[in-house]
């Protein structure tokens, strides 16, 4: 059965913000196409997503009364599809994040970290405290980001459809907020320095340190550091889990993981310390703003 929040207008709240986000990126790329890497490919991808969202909305309306297994799978994917796109949206950002500001802005954040600590934690923590067990702890915390993104929505899909729909909207809204900032503000994070970049790709310590090295050896993304979406989205998921009655215990676990994850972004050389602070602020703000926008959109349906 489809929930009442999805009835009425053809496009869901998630469809609307996805269309707005992809339209923004297409316009942004078109305006600065001479400075966009692989412009034709990425423009075609965003255009395909734009058209696909509209087409899937029409199909959902067409199959509204269908109850077969295929239609249930389709509705599940319709509800979860932004999660499947987050990785592409993030990795594609490197192609156009220097359209407006053409140089990396990391020196500003380097000075901010030095003003706070007198040194750069993203360079020193991971080297000074280099015991394999400490490395595993922080890389495990950093890795937990991925199952958190999938785990909480899937759990709510089975336990509380209304909470699921709100969470996916807020999560999507938050991701798009980070990605919008990234498109305008080019920063690399700790990997700005070659010694940090090399360490993020070394296969060492235990399994989680090696898993993250594998990801960074096989991921092309470059940029999108301030504010840290890793921290920010973990904060969003934690606040959301604590807000829903069915997931409160999970929220307590998320809170502990998010604390270590926030430190891990710096320890593992991925971010400046101020990136993590920015992620916390934007994460909290985007959760509550996203929730408010979602409720306003439902009122107008």
Structural domain boundaries in the chain: 4-299
pLDDT at 279: 97
Q: What is the pLDDT of residues 97-140, one digit of tens each?
A: 999 999 999 999 999 999 999 999 999 999 999 999 999 999 99
pLDDT at 86: 92
Distance of alpha carbon 296 from alpha carbon 301, whole angstroms: 9
Q: Which of the residue ranges 1-5, 264-268, 295-299 would you say has the lowest mean pLDDT?
A: 1-5
For the chain, the C-alpha Rg in angstroms (whole number) is: 20
pLDDT at 65 over 50: yes
Distance of alpha carbon 212 from alpha carbon 200, whole angstroms: 8
91-116: burial string, b at 16+ Cβ within 10 Å, e else: ebbbbbbbbeeeebbbeebbebbeee
pLDDT at 2 over 50: no
Which token pair is 186? Answer: 């080019």
pLDDT band at 63 (very low <50, low <70, confident <90, very high): confident
Which run of H or E residues covers position 34? none
Helix, strand, coil shares of the chain, percent, nearest 5, are 75, 0, 25
Q: What is the pLDDT of residues 199-254, one digit of tens each?
A: 999 999 899 999 999 988 887 778 889 999 999 999 999 999 999 988 999 999 99
Distance of alpha carbon 50 from alpha carbon 54, whole angstroms: 7
How buried is residue 249: exposed, middle or buried, by Cβ count under 10 Å (0-12/13-18/19+)? exposed
pLDDT at 8: 61
pLDDT at 4 over 60: no
pLDDT band at 7 (very low <50, low <70, confident <90, very high): low
> Is omega for the bond preceding 91 within 30 degrees of 0, making it cis?
no
Q: What is the pLDDT of residues 69-106, one digit of tens each?
A: 677 778 778 878 898 899 999 999 999 999 999 999 99
User: Residue 273: which of 134, 106, 132 has the closest Cα?
Assistant: 106
């Amino acid at each position: 059965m489809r929930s009442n929040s999805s009835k009425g207008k053809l496009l869901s709240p998630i469809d609307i913000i996805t269309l707005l986000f992809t339209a923004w990126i297409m316009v942004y790329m078109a305006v600065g196409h001479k400075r966009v890497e692989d412009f034709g490919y990425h423009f075609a991808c965003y255009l395909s997503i734009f058209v696909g969202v509209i087409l899937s909305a029409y199909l959902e309306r067409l199959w509204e009364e269908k109850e077969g297994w295929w239609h249930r799978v389709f509705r599940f994917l319709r509800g979860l599809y932004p999660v499947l796109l987050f990785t592409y949206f993030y990795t594609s950002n490197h192609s156009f994040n220097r359209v407006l500001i053409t140089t990396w802005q990391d020196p500003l954040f380097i000075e901010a970290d030095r003003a706070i600590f007198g040194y750069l934690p993203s360079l020193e923590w991971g080297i000074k405290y280099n015991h394999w067990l400490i490395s595993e702890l922080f890389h495990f915390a950093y890795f937990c980001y991925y199952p958190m993104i999938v785990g909480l929505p899937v759990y709510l899909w089975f336990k509380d459809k209304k909470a699921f729909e709100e969470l996916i909207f807020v999560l999507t809204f938050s991701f798009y907020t980070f990605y919008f900032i990234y498109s305008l503000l080019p920063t690399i994070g700790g990997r700005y320095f070659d010694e940090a970049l090399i360490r993020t790709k070394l296969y060492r310590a235990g399994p989680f340190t090696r898993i993250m090295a594998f990801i960074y050896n096989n991921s092309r993304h470059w940029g999108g550091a301030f504010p840290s979406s890793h921290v920010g989205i973990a904060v969003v998921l934690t606040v959301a889990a604590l807000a829903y009655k069915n997931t409160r215990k999970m929220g307590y676990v998320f809170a502990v993981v998010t604390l270590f994850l926030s430190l891990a972004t710096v320890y593992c050389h991925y971010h400046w310390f101020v990136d993590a602070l920015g992620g916390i602020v934007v994460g909290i703000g985007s959760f509550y703003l996203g929730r408010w926008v979602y409720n306003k959109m439902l009122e107008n349906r």
